[in-house]
Chains A and B, each alone.
Chain A
Amino acid sequence: MLLSRLAERTFWLGRYVERAESLARALLAFEQIRLDIPGGEAPGWRELGPLAGIGRDAADALDPGALADLMILDRENPSSLRSAVHRARENLRRARSLLPFECWHTLNPLYLRLEAAGAALPPSEVGPLLGQVMAACHELGGQVEGGMMRDEGHAFLRLGVHLERADMVPRIVTAVADALIPLEHPFAYEDVRWMGLLRSVGAYGTYRRSHHARANFGSVLRLLLREASFPRSFAHALLQVGRELATLPRNGAAAAALRACWPAHVPNTRADLAVFADAVLPRLADLGAAIVASYFPPGDDDRDPGRAHCA
């Protein structure tokens, strides 16, 4: 069976890669929409601060460039994009033997690219850099999809990816909606704003194909949170967590924690969304803790030796 330490590393590899990719996508989508909205009405980065661990009050005190640098490049900020890539790399470094050989040659150059970036990023480099982060994460996903044995290591990697996705989607939707969608109807540049929200979780094309009418919170949240066949929805991510857990031994505690993550009621207004996020995020944290406690015991556990030479 898979070593606990390697399971832990692949789980966190999955989480950090997914965090890097979804953070890069949200920031890139937001940056592009922000540039579409002229002058005084352009939204600031302030509401996005919490996605990279920066509270709104702290974000208020910073100019937009400094805030972007703090979210993207800051070494000290454990929730920055650079930190996510760095931690993904450190986890991969210790679990290389489980993954296709090429994965290292995808993630390491990305890490080196971010290391080479200075402390501040000229605006013209923000987009290309975020694009590189996403591209490397996609490449890694492809290498895993086409080259990794569907074994326990794969299950832990996917568990990490989907738990992180389930966690990031409500955070991103809340933050980007707060930044882009005004409280009062009607508002200017409505199409562009909804497009920004959908693109921040890569849902724009999907939404356009299934909804031809004007966007509204009800239909957008249904797609992003409840549509199980949309791969970046909250519901899809939770279902995948359940699927991977079902393949693992001793999954009782984690499965129970997963059941508690399903919301009683799916939001369809902005106010509902905040309630939903407040309720579900602590449950996801509990689920993460249950996985850690079940499979990644600290140094000296006292479990019984299993059958000698179990397969």
Chain B
Amino acid sequence: MLANRTISKRVLPELFGDHSIKPVDGYTSRLSALLESLAPEDVARPKVVLLTPGVHNSAYFEHCYLAQHLGIDLVEGADLTVRDGRVYVRTIGGLERVDVIYRRVGDQYLDPQAGNPDSLLGCAGLMGAWRAGNVALANAPGAGVADDKLVYSYVPALVRYYLGEDPILPNVPTFRLFDEKERRHVLANMRSFVVKPANESGGQGVVVGSKASAGELDRCRAAVEQDPRNFVAQPIVNLSTAPTLCDEGVEPRHLDLRPFVLSGADTYVTRGGLTRVALRRGSLVVNSCQGGGSKDTFIVDGAGGP
């Protein structure tokens, strides 16, 4: 999002001159304040670090960019050590206490004593230090449960339960395939549905009914029958398109929008976001690891806006 905006300003300076497009730059200051607010003890200047798997991770550029803009150290597992339930970072002057870790390492790899014993990406004892309340982890281990696509189907119910009001944004209808009635309906009309594995990411294993071959549909049906809890289905939503510069010239391509939301003591939504775009003609798969691209997103300041 931030790098896209930098590029847009370079390529299309006139656009920004002629329209009042809201800046996205506030994101890093908000994120920085939020991370500091998580510090477990009352310290004047909490030590915040960003934990990355390292240069071989496909998101390393983003980790580095964020650390630079947050003004915090980018650390790898080997930089950290746990002594007496407290987390320290190795510095040239010895060990220094760490209060908050913005971790971009998966749950399983955070601590070889707790998760994958072969992990070199984390730090032994980290989970113990976190449980003891001596260090804050963002996001908290287990937060990935929100990635489970089945959870999505409960969001309207969650909104009604916790806020006592109806959701403002409607959900895409989502079928829970462990429910026999819903499963039978989906399996009888597979051409009209997208079937998604509940716990995958990056568009893996997604079957778009209208485009899949008969063989793919059969395999998908068998997988659902075998483990219905692991799948959800949604009616095929025709994603919006936007003009996109492709090898063939400017053409319509499908896209979706990822806003960035910071949720701490209060909630902040960026004025812009990451628009993901499917670069293959007709494709609905926008995920970057499946060849999707991204676009800058403009929020234009209308009359009466703040």
- Chain A residues packing against B (C-beta within 8 Å): 1-7, 93-94, 96-97, 101, 152, 156, 248-250, 295, 297, 299-301, 303-306, 308-310
Contact = CB atoms under 8 A, between A and B. Distances in A.
A305 B194 CA distance: 54
B192 to A, nearest CB: 48
B122 to A, nearest CB: 13
A301 B80 CA distance: 11
Interface in B78-118: 78-79, 81, 83-84, 86, 88-97
B128 to A, nearest CB: 16
A96 B78 contact: no
Contacts of A2: 91-92
Contacts of B47: 309
A24 B88 CA distance: 42
B73 A94 contact: no
Contact of A305 (B79, B92, B95): B95
A1 B94 CA distance: 8
Given A300-B81, A309-B43, A295 B92 contact: yes
Contacts of B73: 3, 6, 97
B136 interface: no
**Chain B: number of interface residues, binned into ranges:** 20 to 34
Contacts of A299: 78
A250 B76 CA distance: 24
B75 interface: yes
Contact of A303 (B76, B79, B84, B94): B94
Closest 6 CB pairs of A and B: A1-B91, A306-B94, A1-B93, A305-B95, A249-B93, A4-B90
Interface of B: 43, 45, 47, 55, 64, 67-68, 73-76, 78-79, 81, 83-84, 86, 88-97
Given A297-B90, A305-B94, 9 more contacts: A3-B79, A96-B68, A97-B67, A249-B92, A250-B92, A304-B95, A306-B93, A306-B95, A310-B94
B53 to A, nearest CB: 13
A309 B93 CA distance: 12
20 contacts: A1-B91, A1-B93, A1-B94, A2-B91, A3-B91, A3-B92, A4-B79, A5-B78, A5-B90, A6-B73, A96-B64, A101-B68, A249-B92, A250-B92, A250-B93, A305-B86, A306-B93, A306-B95, A308-B97, A309-B96
